[in-house]
Structures are given as C-alpha cells and as structure tokens.
Structure 1
Amino acid sequence: MKFLLTSAGINNKSIQDALVDMLGKPIAESSALCIPTAMYGHPWVGPGVKAWQFISGNSENPMVELGWKSVGVLELTALPSIAEDRWVPLVRETDVLLVAGGDALYLCHWMRQSGLADLLPSLNAVYVAMSAGSMVMAPNIGEDFVGWTPPNGGDETLGLVDFSMFPHLDHELLPGNTMAAAERWAAGMQRPSYAMDDQTAIKVIDGAVEVVSEGHWKLFSP
C-alpha cells in the first residue's frame, strides 16, 4: 500500500501533485472512500458539524472536496456489526482511502476491531490521511498525544510505517505545538520522528520515505 501522510490535508500543489502521481491517474477518474472515525474520539472535532463537514467536503482541510469520480463513507465503528462481504470488496476496489484526523488511538482501536488494519497491507489503494489519520500508521504516537485511552492502555499504533509524526507544527491555534515541544516529544521516541507543519506531507511507497513540503518540517533521529 502507498501512504500519503499529511498534517492537514491536500493543502498545496506539491502535495496534490504527489497524490496524483501515486494514483497513477487523475483525481477525476479515481474513486474514494472517506473514513471519519477518528473524529468521534476527539472532543474538538466530533461528533456533530465537523464530521459532517469532512464527509460532505466542506471542511478547511481539502480531501473529500478534490473532485473525485465518486466518494463513499466507510464508518469503522459500524463494520463489526455487518458481514465482511458487505464492505471488504468495496475497500478492495477503491482507489484511495481518505482518513480524517481526530484521536489516533481511537482510530487505531476501530481499525483493529473492524478488521481494516489486517486488510490494509494487501490493498492497492493509496492511503491519504491527515493528523491522527496519519499518526495511526506509526508504531506509537508518544504520551503527549494520548487522549482517548484504549482498553489495554499504552500509545501503540499500527506500525505500518517505521517513524512517528508530530503534526500541526507552529499552528496559530495550537500554541503548544512549537519546535521546542516537538523536540521534547521526539526525545522520548525510540524511532525516527518527524515534526511537520500543515503544508507538509510524507510520502511512503514500498518503505521508501519522501517528504513533500511547501512549509517546514524536521526529522529527529532516536
């Protein structure tokens, strides 16, 4: 699977060009499924109007509204209650998964409970995510980002990439997200870690990592 891990969506031409390159065809010829699940685990973004804004393509973080051939909704909390043949073929056939931000551990829990986590490595789709949707691909997120507490505790996530992410670097509405805070967070991580602003994304294809940015970012070595 290919990953385009953003801080805040497809926010500039460089990130959009990377997405089109990974798709191998225009956005207008590509089918998408959006996953809002992480939003419900975070008090700032769900449930309510922001979840609707993401799904309907009316958010401030361009993902659903890019002009896809088709867009469907995949709500992970519903999947354990329906048969796999109702949703697995749909996921296998889609060109891209669009994954919202919110709470990374809540999203991780439902990716595992739904069975999507097991399915992801075998998909041909491009996984495009922002914030918590990106962070969940890391081996762990760090104690600073623990909000919703999983049943077994800890900060472990899916580990489908071998680095962790500190999103929304120097965001005007998040005064605690400074480079100094990112450095303190990175000091507690056991793997390479990236601090990234909202104009930055990380592209991963077959384990090869490339930063795509019109903003600023920093790689921390463990």
Structure 2
Amino acid sequence: MKLLLTSGGITNDSIRNALVDLLGKPIAESSVLYIPTALHANPNGPTMIARLISGDTNSAPFPDGYVSLCHLGWKSLGVLELTALPSIDKERWVSRVRETDALLVEGGDPLYLCYWMRQSGLADLLPELPRELVYVGLSAGSMVMTPSIGEDFVGWRPPTGGDTTLGLVDFAIFPHLDYPSMPDNSMANALKWAASMPVPSYLMDDQTAIQVIDGKVKVISEGQWKRFTA
C-alpha cells in the first residue's frame, strides 16, 4: 500500500499529479472507496458527510474552490462506513477493499477514526493490502496513520484513553498549519506541539502532502511545511 497523507486534500496540481503517479493511471480510470467515519464525531458530521458526497462545498465551512475527495472525477465511488462493518460478514467488504484502486479517508476526529478502524478490522487489514493500492488521507485520515497525535488534538476520547493511533508511519503530523480560521494552528504553537512528540513531526499547511512508498518519505508542497525533530 502506498500513502498520500494530505492536510487539506487534493488542493493543487502538485498533489494531484502525485496522486495520478501513485495510481499508475488516470483518475478517470480509477475506482475508489470513500471512508467518512471520522466526521461522525463532529457536531455537524452527518450534514458535512452528505455535502462532501454530493459535492456541495460552495459555502462554509469549506474554503473557496474546495473540491471534495469524492468529486475528483473517479471512474466509480463507493462508501465504506466503518461503524457498520462489525455487523457485516467480513467476506462482504474485505474483497471490495482489496480490489479498489484507492481508499479516500476523510478528516474529522483522528481518535474516533482510529477506534473504528480497529473495531471494524480495517486496521488489521491495512498492512496486508496490495502494494499498488493507494491510501489517501485528509487531516484526521492522515494523522491516524502516525504513532500518536498529541494531547492538543484529542477531542473524542477512546475507552482506553490516550492519544495513540495506528503507527503505520514513524512520524507525526500537524495539519492545517496557519489556516486562517484556526488561530491556534500557528507555527509557534505547532513547534510547541512538535517539541512534545516522541517522534519526528511534519508541520504542514493545506497545500502540502506527504507521500510514503515502501517507507520512503517525500514531501509534496506548493505551500509551507517544516520537519521538526525534538
């Protein structure tokens, strides 16, 4: 499995070109599964999910010109809701995941997403997925792949507590750096957060993504980012 870990999605040509390179074919020839689960922990999560799937992102809270992961021009799109999977025979969904070209993992709450990745069995399946499959994360969908998120990003708390996530990469992510409507996401606060993390961290704005292939990390950016090692 190849990773494209974004802060704000496919926001510029550089990130879009990287996605096409990872897919190995045009977006219009690729089939995907969309995972909206992380948004359920948000107060207006169901409404946001409906708007993202329908492509209605022309007003707040979405930035001007934002294009949903669902509306990039895919050949086909399916929705994989993790909270439903524990009640479904695994044979009914595991084959679909293995056969898809990409998983599109929406933002929201990273610990809620991590909890349902584990409860559903998807977390155990991820390391076994075909190498050519592309995992595209947005914000929480990217952070969930790291070892931990730090107390600053803890919203929904899992039954076991803590801030531990899946740890499929060996670095942490601070998304939405210097985002206009998020004053707490300043570079100064990001550096304080990074200094508290036990692993190297990437501080990244919404014009930045991290590509990971066979453990090799590459930053793709038309914006601002910084790698921090405590």
Q: What is aligned with 2:129? A: 123
d(CA) in 2 for partners of 1:178, 1:113: 34
Q: What is aligned with 1:204? A: 212
d(CA) in 2 for partners of 1:20, 1:164: 25
Structure 1 residues 61 and 142: CA distance shift in structure 2, 3 A: farther
Q: Kindly report which structure 2 residues correspond to 1:1-222, keeping only aligned pairs within 5 A, or say none.
A: 1-43=1-43, 45-47=44-46, 49-59=47-57, 60-124=66-130, 125-222=133-230
Sequence identity percentage: 68
* Structure 1 vs Structure 2 CA RMSD: 0.9
Q: Any conservation in 1 of the 2:53–2:68 contact (CA below 8 Å)? A: no
What's the CA shift for 1:19?
A: 0.3
What's the CA shift for 1:64?
A: 1.0
Aligned residues: 220
Q: Matched residue of 2:45: which SS? A: coil
Q: Matched residue of 1:198: which SS? A: coil
TM-score by length of 2: 0.94
Could you tell me which runs of 5 or more consecutive residues in structure 1 were left unpaired when the two chains were aligned. Answer: none
Q: Which runs of 4+ in 1 moved over 4 A?
A: none
Which residue type is aligned with residue 208 of structure 1?
K
Which residue type is aligned with residue 118 of structure 1?
D
Structure 1 residues 61 and 138: CA distance shift in structure 2, 3 A: farther
d(CA) in 2 for partners of 1:126, 1:77: 22
